[in-house]
């Protein structure tokens, strides 16, 4: 990856866990479990190549409508993974943060997340944002409601930005979506305005190191081609 443009902020829609499991005759939760290994790979590679911000769409506002059993399974997995990984993430300099209507999460999951965020809050090597109970329209509506409640009378794009869930993060340079669908699906609607989009048919549990490096290389080629124009963007 030497001499190549590395995206500063990568956002990922991790899709296809269910299909991965189905194709193997396994229950859906196995897809999520194996998908968690892809999350580890992507974090590791991000640290290696110098991605500074990584935002993962782990659970959408719409995902609450999935069968109760799957929702609870995902919540349990999330709690388990955070508990298992937080210390090594902390050692690696990863700062864990969340975006979304996180107050909707079960209290025990929220507790685990708070503990992880507190432990890693001073780290600066990689900012890992977990989008949980996240919706792009909900984020914009939440921002507008805060603006109203503060009695602000006028807003512009720059001041609006400060009301987003993570105003400190630069906008994503690269969005990756796995599993074939070519949609944004209510992810980071405001932030993706100028983001390069990368779609792959690979299902999330199969999206490992080499697939991620391929996406980053694809981005580097695009940026090199349009360097003058893209350079210096937020």
CA distances to 107, 170, 216 from 195, rounded to whole Å, are 34, 11, 13
Residue-by-residue DSSP string for 43-65: HHHHHHHT--EEEEEEEESGGGG
**Closest distance of CB 22 from ligand FPP, Å:** 7
CB closest to ligand FPP, residue no: 18
The yes or no reply on residue 19 touching ligand FPP (CB under 6 A) is yes
Q: Which pair of structure tokens corresponds to residue 124?
A: 């600066």
Q: How far apart are CA 190 and CA 107, in angstroms?
A: 29
- Nearer CB in complex with ligand FPP: 135/143: 135
Stretch in the footprint of ligand FPP (CB under 6 A) among 13-21, 86-94, 100-108, 186-194: 13-21
Q: How far apart are CA 218 and CA 85, in angstroms?
A: 29
The yes or no reply on residue 196 touching ligand FPP (CB under 6 A) is no
Q: CB–CB of 196/222 below 8 Å?
A: yes
**Contact track, ligand FPP, 24-63, x by CB under 6 A:** --------x--xx--x----------------x-x----x
Site for ligand FPP in 77-136 (CB under 6 A): 77-78, 81, 130
- Nearer CB in complex with ligand FPP: 14/143: 14
Helix (H) or strand (E) holding 18: helix 17-23
Stretch in the footprint of ligand FPP (CB under 6 A) among 70-78, 88-96, 186-194, 209-217: 70-78
- Nearer CB in complex with ligand FPP: 43/174: 43
Hey, is 134 helix, strand or coil? strand
Give, to the nearest 10 degrees, the angle between helix 68-91 and helix 28-49. Answer: 20
Q: Which of 3, 41, 63, 122 is catalytic?
A: 63
Q: Which pair of structure tokens corresponds to residue 152?
A: 């602000």
Asked about 145 being catalytic, the answer comes back as no
**φ/ψ of residue 101, rounded to 5:** -85, 70
Q: Which of 15, 112, 139, 211 binds ligand FPP (CB under 6 A)?
A: 15
Asked about 63 being catalytic, the answer comes back as yes
Active site residues: 15, 63
Residues that bind ligand FPP (CB under 6 A): 14-19, 32, 35-36, 39, 56, 58, 63, 74, 77-78, 81, 130, 179
């Amino acid at each position: 990856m030497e001499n190549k443009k590395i995206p500063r902020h990568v956002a990922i829609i991790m899709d296809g866990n269910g299909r991965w499991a189905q194709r193997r005759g396994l229950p859906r939760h196995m897809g999520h479990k194996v998908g968690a290994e892809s999350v580890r790979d992507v974090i590791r590679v991000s640290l290696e190549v110098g991605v500074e911000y990584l935002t993962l769409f782990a659970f959408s506002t719409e995902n609450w409508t999935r069968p109760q059993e799957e929702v609870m399974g995902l919540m349990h997995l999330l709690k388990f993974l955070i508990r298992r990984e937080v210390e090594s993430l902390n050692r690696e300099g990863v700062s864990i943060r969340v975006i979304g209507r996180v107050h909707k999460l079960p209290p025990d999951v929220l507790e685990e997340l708070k503990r992880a965020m507190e432990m890693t809050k001073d780290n600066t090597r990689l900012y890992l944002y977990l989008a949980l109970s996240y919706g792009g329209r909900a984020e914009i509506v939440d921002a507008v409601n805060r603006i109203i409640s503060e009695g602000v009378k006028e807003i512009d794009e720059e001041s609006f930005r400060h009301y987003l869930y993570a105003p400190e993060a630069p906008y994503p340079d690269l969005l990756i979506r796995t599993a074939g669908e070519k949609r944004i699906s209510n992810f980071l609607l405001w932030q993706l305005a100028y983001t390069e989009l990368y779609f792959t048919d690979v299902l999330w549990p199969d999206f490992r190191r080499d697939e991620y490096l391929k996406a980053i290389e694809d981005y580097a080629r695009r940026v090199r081609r349009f360097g003058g124009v893209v350079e210096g963007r937020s």
